[in-house]
Amino acid sequence: MKNFLTTILLLFILQVANAQSHVSKSEYARYNCRFAPKGWNNAEGKLMCPACDKENEDARKKKIADDKAASAAHNLKNEKLKAENAIAFKKKQAEVAAKNKVTEVHVTMGKVPVSGNKKPELPVKKGPVKLGKDIQLYAGWGMGMFTHNSRANCFLNENKDTVLKSNDYLEAYAVMGENKNNFPKNIGIVLLKQTNKISNGRELNIADIVDLKGKRYFNDNTISTIFHLADDYFVVCKSPTLPEWRSYGNNYTGYENVEIYNLKTKKSIKLDKDAGRFVSISIYVGGRKMPGEPDLTPFLSRVYTNYDEDVYCLDATRNMVVRKVLKANR
């Protein structure tokens, strides 16, 4: 009990000492001070108590320092996530390369002697790859342009023959491994070396869909990203004046304009901009289930500035539907 009373006394003394460093009661008419009676401490046209002013300035500086530290920690976390994603992707690439590796055997044949009128057999020359009616193209992962994780500039067929290659391509995407999401045949996605000039002299590479002959589908130089969702659904992103932004280890990306385009029906679902300049989307919804709707398969998440969310899914009939998820339920 004695220690408790001593503590209370010390706190009281500190409070009195602190109050004494502020303006005196006689100055309350001229100065705003937090120790002044209610109604006297925030009047307009009065000077600020120097001690209060210093405390406010110290609090402001502390908040700036705290915000800076929090931002640094946040950036560090983002870099860590980005590094982890890069390591995981490289590991996946190595596994696929090991699985698809073909061992070449070189055999040296001696000269075939000529006996009688029989002529030696000439080596058979392999002709160019003949394109069939429907060809499944293989390259980087169909969703891969979301994180730009491919540096292949060609497409292969199922026999690993090169079907389409161009030095104009910076990245190429189609099927990698199993075609679980039914990437359409006879087409692929490319990121071109050609660029589109945007604000402040910056540039963005142009994306498009190409056919087996390399003919561009959209031919729109404001498209900077295209990736496949499922079946004939593709996400088409345009940033004609502003650069794309990424956050949380590339889990979210912002674009000026985003639409979900069906290549077969040629119909699109445009995502509105909300209150910001960008539309923020994420493809990291694998394994997610919609509560009470087991037949829905999520593919794309769109997050609003108030952190509400639209989740774009395919239903049992493979039609695109959207479900809104409020921030409180995320």
Q: If we measure between CA atoms, which residue out of 226, 316, 306, 143 comes closest to residue 324?
A: 306
Calculate mean pLDDT across residues 169-184.
92
- Encoded tokens for 229: 């969702």
Residue 135 has pLDDT above 90, yes or no: yes
More confident residue, 14 or 152: 152
Structure confidence by residue, pLDDT tens digits, 97-117: 666 554 333 333 444 444 445
Look at 10-24, 174-188, 280-294 and tell me which has the smallest mean pLDDT: 10-24
Give residue 219's region: left, alpha or beta (phi > 0; psi -120 to 50): left
Question: How much of the chain, in percent, has pLDDT values that exceed 90?
Answer: 35
Residue 244 has pLDDT above 90, yes or no: no
Distance of CA 240 to the CA centre of its chain: 18
Look at 107-116, 134-143, 252-261 and tell me which has the smallest mean pLDDT: 107-116
Calculate mean pLDDT across residues 275-283.
83
In terms of pTM, does the model score above 0.95?
no
Q: If we measure between CA atoms, which residue out of 274, 280, 278 comes closest to residue 243?
A: 278
Residue 26 has pLDDT above 70, yes or no: no
Task: Using pLDDT thresholds of 50, 70 and 90, give the confidence band for residue 29.
Answer: low
User: If you search the block for the tokens 């006689």, which residue do you land on?
Assistant: 26
Calculate mean pLDDT across residues 70-76.
75
β-sheet bridge partners, residue 205: 195
For residue 202, the model assigns a pLDDT of 87
> What are the C-alpha distances in Å from 33 to residues 22, 36, 42, 190?
7, 5, 8, 65
For residue 139, the model assigns a pLDDT of 92
- Encoded tokens for 78: 């983002």
Q: How far apart are CA 309 and CA 290, in angstroms?
A: 13
Calculate mean pLDDT across residues 173-198.
93
For residue 77, the model assigns a pLDDT of 74
More confident residue, 263 or 52: 263
Structure confidence by residue, pLDDT tens digits, 141-176: 888 888 777 778 999 999 999 999 999 999 999 998
Look at 38-47, 109-118, 123-132 and tell me which has the smallest mean pLDDT: 109-118
- Encoded tokens for 50: 């120097």
State the chain's mean pLDDT as an integer. Answer: 79
Q: Label the pairing between strands 268-271 and 257-262.
A: antiparallel
Write phi, then psi, for 134 (nearest 5 degrees). -130, 120
Residue 228 has pLDDT above 90, yes or no: yes
E-strand stretches of 108-216: 140-141, 154-156, 162-165, 169-174, 187-197, 203-211
Expressed in angstroms, the distance from the first to the final Cα of the chain is 49
Calculate mean pLDDT across residues 18-28.
65
User: If you search the block for the tokens 């210093």, which residue do you land on?
Assistant: 54
Task: Using pLDDT thresholds of 50, 70 and 90, give the confidence band for residue 129.
Answer: low
